[in-house]
Structure 1
Amino acid sequence: MDNFYVADVLENNENQTYEPSIHSDDEPDDCANDLLDDEVTEPSLPSVPPSLRRQKTAELRSKIPTTSLLPAVLATLELWASLGIDLPIFLDALSWGDLACRQNKKVHHARTTLMHSEELPGIIRRWHRPPRLERKGKRPEAAHEVLDAFVLEQVKERVSDDMKRSSSSFISPPEEVNEHALTHTNYDDLISETKQSAPFVWEVFLSAAYTEKQRKRNTSKNPDLIVLNMISQAQYSRSQRRGRLPKLHAIYLKACGMSARAFDFVHILGIAMSHKWTANAYKVLSALKLKEAQAVVRTRPWVISHDNVNFPLRVFSQRLQNQSHFISATAATVWVLPASAFALSANANRNLVEYRAEKSKELFDQDALFGGDVLAAKRIEAQHVHHVLRILLDCPEFTGYAHSKDPMLQPPPPVDPLPTGPAAAIQPLMLPTVDIEEASYEGTMKVMMVFLKYLGFESDEDHKEMSTSKLICWLGDQLTVDRLRGMFRLRAEDFNSMDRLDFMVPIAGWFHALMALANSLHTQYLGTSAGVGWLRQGIDLLQRKGLINQSTKGPFWHHLDELLHHVSEAHFRACWKIVGKVDSLIELQSRSPRELLSIAHDIVDQYASRRALERIDNMPENERDQILRQSIQWNSDILVYTELQSAIRTGDVGRIEDLLPTLLFRFSGGGNSKYAIEILELLQGLRQEWTPEVRQYVKHCCWLMTTTGDENSFHPYDLGQEHKIADVKVHFHSLGPGASMEHLTQISPAIPTLRMVKDHITSQFSMLEGRGKHHHTPNKEEDIQKLTASYDESQLYIETPGRTHKSTQDLAEDYITKGYTTLSDSPTVSDWFKRRTRVRSTEEDWSELI
């Protein structure tokens, strides 16, 4: 080592000793990678921290006697001139431009000192933008053009390197158009990956998108997503295989209904794929989901539902073969049950066929139906008491009640609850929508065969294996199930299990039964505007429009459901004041939980039970209060509706089973014979014709479902099918000349994936959450208070002997009592049983397969 170098080190480190174990023998890389492999490398020198080099320079600067370095600079220039070189030649030789200089340790030391000096950044800046020689005048040009070109060249190289390193995060091969790839892209994770793999590009784009002033001023703005998308656009511009985000954006935007013209625009910008690519991706996703359905029905338990889809198909140019018309199609959904669901045994099909052949000859026990179940009646009454209690606890006057969490105020224990949690979630798989009307028997049979074909049961051998070893619960609304059951009976004497549909168990959905119950209450209690406590009075008083005449279209049931609940709450608030002997509900806050529970029991006993009706009916006719009796009857009937809704929402199938006799009597007494037959069919199956395992399977796997596993998230299968029909008709329905029935058939299986993509995107952006998923529900309190005040003013629940209705139209018939009497005193049930009874063949003739 040259003596001058060692002296410099020791002079600046008087208290330090050079230790090879501490200081690396290799000099820090100062652009050595720019050298060619065949050139001679620099000598190896001990590593000296940059601070020591800078300290030496500072010490030399301090020893200069004058404030200006002009004399030293002039002397140096004269020396260079005497040597026949100038500043450019010197800097070129010093800066690795001369092979001998490159190998010389002294030159190496001088160069390294310059590269690590504090002065170097200032030197480069002044070369780029030197100060003016005077206060005015043109600034010296210096080397800004050269440096600008150099910096641009280096930036391009750094950007190119970062783009190559980060490309793997954006690569999406053509075969990666599937549900997993689309729903497992997390923007936060992708941002972190890109920051790590492309730090230089990230900082460059960030500086373009976000200034330092913005960083100090803004507290909520986050430019990371903008920078990520800028890099994504650049990656996609470099290669179409780097379209991870454009693919996701394309599927999402198409699912949200973006037009083809808008698609082409965002594709030009590199934000999303083209409209043509997206349309093809829909077909790919549909094919993948259909294959998934075909595979899952052979390995997992499942049920299926279908319903009609009606919508107009309009054309732009009319021809003989191209006319506007109304389509009556059919959509179906396979509901894949969770692994924890109750599973049927391998012999369930044959066991049911044999059991049904024997037990279907007899009607279920009518004595148990008309005699009543004491335990079920007690469970129902306990639920009624809790519903009345909740009306008080949920009203604004009871906000802040100190004992609201008291165990005495909690719901009664469930009877037969379905499991909750993520493991209990059901997976929907949609089948292609078919242009077949299912209202007729012929259409129903065609629909069944087409959907079974889509599920892979196509060949005769498949039909034989399926019909003799599987049980398929086929779900739908009342019309759908009636047609399925009709086909089941008409084919009772066919040659084999497939033709006889032995594999099918038709089950009606509870959503349409709930709507039928609401319509029954509407028919029974509509009344007149002059009748106090009637629905018509509530409609007029609250200015609810469109509720006089029943309708199966539009939001009629939603509006009716709200009206029923609001009128019910007003009735029971009036009861709380009467039984609690208070003028305002807020006065009840001083009562203990035990006292409130006791009052709720008294309200049900005195104003919402069959016992209260019997008490009035046993009075002399001239002493009866008809207004009070009808209010008691309303309270008793509306609690059945409330209880059925609550049981569905909480997933308690035991509570639903407890309500079956009451629903049968109501539908029968109210003239709704179709739903009365559905309840009879259900009772016949549960209590007579189905094997114990099929009974359990129907109740636990075919009545209610949850797609999330959350508590209070259960709903009937036919409501789930209505949601899928809304997706087909509205949410994911393509518009324009290409929106043909063939196109709808192709994309239908992809709809659950599109829904998952929308939910996946929405969950990552708070601004999107809730938009378009739920409508705002206005505060109901003013409406309920107005109804309650009307009932208080009319003294609805103060017994007045001899009080009668102003009009005979206000006299509501007791549907439940009428239904009970009709069914128990007439041969209605036995006549129904005779009509449905068929001797079913047990023959298995598969000769046509040979």
Structure 2
Amino acid sequence: MDGDLEFLYIEEPPIEPDYTHNNLTNEADFPELPDADPPQIPQPFYSTNTRNLRSCVSDKTVQYARSSLMNSEELPRMLERWDSPPRRSGGQRPAGARKILLDFAFRCISDVVDTEMKVSAPMFLSPPDKLSETHLTDLDFGEFKNQLKESMPIFWHILRRAAYTAEQETRNKHKNPDMTVLHLISQMQYSRSNRRGRIAKLWSIYLKACGLSARAFDALHALGILMSHKWTAEALETLSDRAMDLVQQLIHLFPFAISHDNMNVPLRVFSQRLHNQSHFISGCAYTVWILPRHAALPANTSQMLQSFRAENCLQVFDFSEVLYGSLEAEDRMEAWDIDHVLHLLLDCPEFLDYPHRTDAQFHHPPPVDQLPGGPENIIQGFVLKTSTFEEASYDGTLNVIDDTFRQLLLNSPDEQKVTGTQRVIAWMGDQLTVERLRGLWKYRHEDHNAFDRLDYMIPVFGWFHLVMAFANSIHKQYLGDSSATGGLRQAFDLLNRKGLITQSTKGPFWHNLDEALHHISEAHFRACWLDVGKIKTVADLKSKSPSELRHLAGEIIRKYASREALNNMEEMDSHDRDGVFQQWTMFNMDVLPYLQLRKAIKAGDIGRIEDLLPTLLFRFAGSGSSKYTIEILELLQGLHREWPPVVRDYIKRFCWLMTRNGEFDGWLPYDLAQEENICDIKVNYRSQGPGATMEYMGKISPAIPALRKIQRHMEKQFGTNSRGARHGVPDKEKDVSMLTANYVASKLHTFVAGVELRTARSPDFLTEGADTLERLNTINDWFKRRTHARATGEDWSEEERQDILLQPLLA
């Protein structure tokens, strides 16, 4: 072997007939082979002569022949014949080179697969330091699939052929195995390296957010589909910590507001001991709302607010402006009432084919002062760590405030000084939350500096809880009994609505009551349409022009749902009145502001909300809801007296309503968003098992907004966002039609002189509320209790502050 290359030479066999000619395409085309033994092919031998090797490489004829063979159409056919050679007539098919070809093909495919797996590996990498909401939700499965097809075309084709036959390709129109192939490759990449778990991590956090059990995690982790349960639990803590880090930075870059609310959590144990008992915890959940950059207040707003308060806090707002209102606001509310009644008619099934539905007469009135939508006005909420403090007491509320600043790293002396002298923070919540905050603001009016006096704080009540109180007042006013046709109780009985007789603040009571009020009011107004049009069915109105329908809608408001109609009946002699007509005219008048408030909140029309403030004040004062009466008075005092224009505009535009999507009708009150966060903590993303302590819940609660976005992202990717996002609403038509027929038969909205109301008449809360506020010194009593001269000193020495803080909160 003296250094020369080895080369394998095969002596050519004698020339035989050409049985592989191109025109022979199947076994029947081959003639039978002779019975003689086939020629013997000499065994290969090795040679150390390199001359023939050089000639094979350099010889032009050999090069041309080799290139021709490698690129010829005959080569695949030759390989096919080697794999499955022809057989003799009646004989056994020769083995051929099938085993050798399979081994060769396996080695080639293995090399290709290994190469493509290495090429695509960076796509699946997910370093631990990149675990974030943005990194996880940036993965678009459709785009990722297309990139993967390009980077590993052969292996993708092999897996797709294994998952999908050629018949399925032509037969199936909807089924697509691409996601199956993608996740098979993901499992294989994760099997090669646990750093290639980008898809596995996303599925792990998504399924954890959906409540997958630890045992199921272990099973799916063994298959390479998910990360381990331990990794997922640690990932939640990482997301929580990074969310806290982010909000601690954002509050120095953007304006922000804060809300908190009580949260009751039952903790149950499996084995009872003296130190291990089932118990009920009243904790508190906080949310920091990062407002748009353009919401930022001027740098001197804090000093401006304090000086403006000091100048105007000793004078109460002009109640006569509220009592008598303005003609412009009344005209705007009447226009919206007419629009509501008109669209109730257009939404009837009988009117769906009305040919003039797009006529200008049916356009909505212009909004009074609508908040702008768009992505630049989206408000992002950050859930802080849930605490075990309760807000029912003043001490508990003070602990909540201190804990909020501690979590936001605003509790250092320097940051406290900045907060007290430079920041204005709207602190929002339900009525109890705001009452406690305002009480602290009042009782600490003589503390040594602006931070201890809570001068930076503006308590703002939530509109969601006010809407609930509004619905409860209508329930209280018109519940009646089962014999009172048109009343709420009789409607509940007819519609078989359960659980609506007794008011409740828990469960779905308000949701069910809200639906009932919409359906009952729609039935009343349909009955009004039939009476004003002197017709028997709503379909008979389709012959009317759009202008005629609008005129009739205005007649309905003026004749069947206005203070003017009530006053006209009050001026009649007692024997000329229709007590039934008067009762349900007042109901129509009272329910319209509730419906308008619901619409205005959803549309973000803060001007319509402000127009409704006098009505809300009179209703709460007349229904005995003293707490919300005070809330409306405090709001009017701020809007008309104690807040400078820049703060007034800031509160209305950025602290009443918020939007998560920037859509036109996507506005909701902050306290409703806070309730949704609490629902996520307690129900949707709750921690289960014996380790689900309050401390652990608090540790992972900042990760909830990330879990919510990851869940929505996955639902959008796989088209499952229609399942479980919201409950289906059954058709209301049968319910409304039955009530309408009952009201028409009872002539509730047909004036008949001399008809008396057989049951007790519902009280007129609006009139009683106006009388209460005007005659009983309610406003003066409220104003005396809330007016205190506030200290203005700024003593930041720690010794003095500690002496004050150690004193009892309340004398």
TM-score (norm 1): 0.89
Q: How does 1:514-529 map to 2 (within 5 A)?
A: 514-529=467-482
What is the alpha-carbon root mean square deviation over aligned residues?
2.5
Hey, what does 1:843 align to over in structure 2? 793
The structural deviation recorded for 1:817 is 0.3
SS of the equivalent of 1:813 reads: coil
Aligned with residue 123 of structure 1, among 54, 75, 78: 78
Match of 1:418 in 2: 371
Q: Which residue of 1 aligns with 2:255?
A: 301
- SS of the aligned residue for 1:497 comes to coil
690-699 vs 797-806, which moves further: 797-806
Which of 598, 602, 611 pairs up with 1:649?
602
* Corresponding residue for residue 399 of structure 1: 352
Q: Where do 4+ consecutive residues of structure 1 move more than 4 Å? A: 57-62, 67-71, 87-90
Shift of 1:59: 11
Q: Distance in 2 between matches of 1:807 and 1:600?
A: 30
CA apart distance, 1:234? 0.6
CA-to-partner distance for each residue in 1:21-64, whole Å, 9 max, x for gaps? Answer: xxxxxxxxxxxxxxxxx999xxxxxxxxxxxxxxxx999999xx
User: How far apart are 1:587 and its partner, in Å?
Assistant: 1.3
1:598 aligns with 2:587: no
Of 143, 153, 156, the residue aligned with 2:110 is: 156
CA separation of 1:134/1:595 partners in 2, compared to 1, >3 Å: closer, same or farther?
A: same
The residue that corresponds to 2:69 in the other structure is 114
Q: 1:770 aligns with which of 722, 733, 742?
A: 722
Q: Which residue of 183, 192, 195 maps to 1:241?
A: 195
The answer to whether the 8 Å contact 1:306/1:330 transfers is yes
Q: What is aligned with 2:439?
A: 486
Q: Secondary structure at the match of 2:458?
A: strand
Distance (whole Å) between structure 1 residues aligned to residue 271 and residue 137 of structure 2: 40
Number of corresponding residues:
781
Q: Which residue of 2 aligns with 1:803?
A: 755
Q: How does 1:13-162 map to 2 (within 5 A)?
A: 86=42, 98-135=53-90, 137-162=91-116
- Select 2:288's aligned residue among 334, 338, 349: 334
SS at match of 1:499: coil
Report the Cα offset of residue 98 of structure 1.
3.8
Once the 2 structures are TM-superposed, how far is the Cα of residue 89 of structure 1 from its aligned partner? 6.4
Aligned partners of 1:710, 1:160: CA distance in 2, in Å? 48
Partner of 1:821: 771
Aligned match of 1:788 in 726, 733, 740? 740
Query: Could you list the per-position Cα deviations for residues 463-493 of structure 1 after superposition, in whole angstroms to 9, with x for gaps in the alignment?
Result: 1111110000000000000000000000000
Q: CA deviation at 1:738?
A: 1.7
CA distance in 2, matches of 1:185, 1:540: 52
Q: Does the CA contact (< 8 Å) of 1:349 and 1:470 recur in 2?
A: yes
Give the 5 Å matches for 1:540-689. Answer: 540-689=493-642
CA deviation digits over 1:271-318, x for unaligned, max 9? 111110000000110111111111111110111111111120011222
1:216 aligns with 2:201: no
Residues 129 and 60 (structure 1 numbering): CA distance in 2 closer, same or farther, change over 3 Å?
closer
**What's the CA shift string for 1:555-605, capped at 9, x where partnerless?**
100100011011100000010111112111111111111111110111000
| Residues 192-216 of structure 1 deviation map (CA, whole Å, 9 limit, x = unaligned) | 1110011111011111111101111
Which one has the largest radius of gyration? 1
Aligned-pair CA distance for 1:703: 0.5
Structure-to-structure mapping, 1:106-505, within 5 angstroms: 106-135=61-90, 137-340=91-294, 342-505=295-458
- Residue 269 of structure 1 aligns with an amino acid whose one-letter code is L
- Alignment partner of 1:321: what SS? coil
CA contact (8 A) 2:32 2:89 kept: no
Corresponding position of 1:9 = none
- How far apart are residue 339 of structure 1 and its match? 2.9
Q: Is the 8 A contact 2:149 2:156 kept in 1?
A: yes
d(CA) in 1 for partners of 2:750, 2:553: 17
TM-score (ref. length: structure 2): 0.93
**Higher mean Cα deviation, 99-108 or 581-590?**
99-108
* Cα distance, 1:237 vs structure 2: 0.6
> What is the distance in 2 between the residues matched to 1:131 and 1:312?
79
Matches of 2:372 and 2:771, distance apart in 1: 38
Q: Partner letter of residue 798 of structure 1?
A: T
Letter in 2 for 1:245: I
CA separation in 2, counterparts of 1:69 and 1:528?
A: 104
Aligned-partner Cα distance in 1 for 2:520–2:183:
53
Q: Which letter maps to 1:590?
A: S
Is the CA contact 1:96–1:102 (under 8 Å) kept in the aligned structure 2?
A: no
Change (3 A) 1:39 1:747: farther
Q: Which amino acid aligns with 1:449?
A: D
Specify whether residues 525 and 89 from structure 1 end up closer, same or farther in structure 2 by C-alpha distance, changes over 3 A only.
farther
Identity across the alignment (%)? 50
Deviations 1:517-571 (A, max 9, x none): 0000000000011111100110011111100001111110010001101110000
Say if 1:635 and 1:771 are closer, same or farther in 2 by CA, change over 3 A. Answer: same
**CA–CA distance in structure 2, aligned partners of residues 578 and 448 of structure 1:** 57
Determine the C-alpha separation between the residues in 2 that align with 1:307 and 1:349. 26
Deviations 1:754-804 (A, max 9, x none): 1110111111112x1211111111100000000000011111111122212
SS at match of 1:500: coil
Distance 2:95 2:750 in 1: 101
Partner amino acid, structure 2, of 1:125 = E
Deviation at 1:99, TM superposition (A): 4.4
- Cα distance between partner residues in 2 of 1:114 and 1:689: 95
Superposed displacement of residue 849, structure 1? 7.2
Residues 619 and 769 in structure 2, CA contact (< 8 A), matched pair in contact too:
yes
The CA distance in 1 between the partners of 2:682 and 2:5, in whole Å, is 73
Judged with a 3 Å threshold, the aligned counterparts in structure 2 of structure 1 residues 756 and 68 are, in CA distance, closer, same or farther, namely closer
Mind listing any 5+ residue stretches in structure 2 that lack a counterpart?
Answer: 7-18, 801-811
Find the residue that maps to 1:312 and give its secondary structure.
strand
Offset, 1:96? 13
Q: Is the 8 A contact 2:259 2:671 kept in 1?
A: yes
**Distance of 1:69 and 1:112 partners within structure 2:** 31
- CA distance in 1 between partners of 2:51 and 2:293 (Å): 71
CA distance in 2 between partners of 1:58 and 1:147 (Å)? 19
Which stretches in structure 1 are left out of the alignment for 5+ residues? Answer: 1-37, 41-56
Q: Quick check: 100-109 or 234-243, which moved more? A: 100-109
Picking from 668, 679, 685, the partner of 1:726 is 679
Q: How many Å separate the matches in 2 of 1:200 and 1:799?
A: 83
Task: Give the Å deviation of 1:122.
Answer: 1.9
Q: How far apart in 2 are the matches of 1:217 and 1:520?
A: 62
The Cα shift of 1:727 comes to 0.4
Q: CA deviation at 1:109?
A: 2.2
Query: C-alpha distance in 2, partners of 1:624/1:89?
Result: 126
1:709 shift after superposition: 0.6
State which of 756, 761, 780 in structure 2 corresponds to 1:830: 780
User: How far off is 1:409 after superposition?
Assistant: 1.2
Cα-to-partner distance string for 1:791-820 (whole Å, 9 max, x where unaligned): 111111111222122233xx1000000000
Change (3 A) 1:89 1:614: farther
The whole-number CA distance in structure 2 between the counterparts of 1:546 and 1:61 is: 87
Q: Pick closer, same or farther for the CA change 1:148–1:832 going to 2, 3 Å.
A: same
Match of 1:743 among 680, 696, 714: 696
What SS class does the counterpart of residue 722 from structure 1 fall into?
A: helix
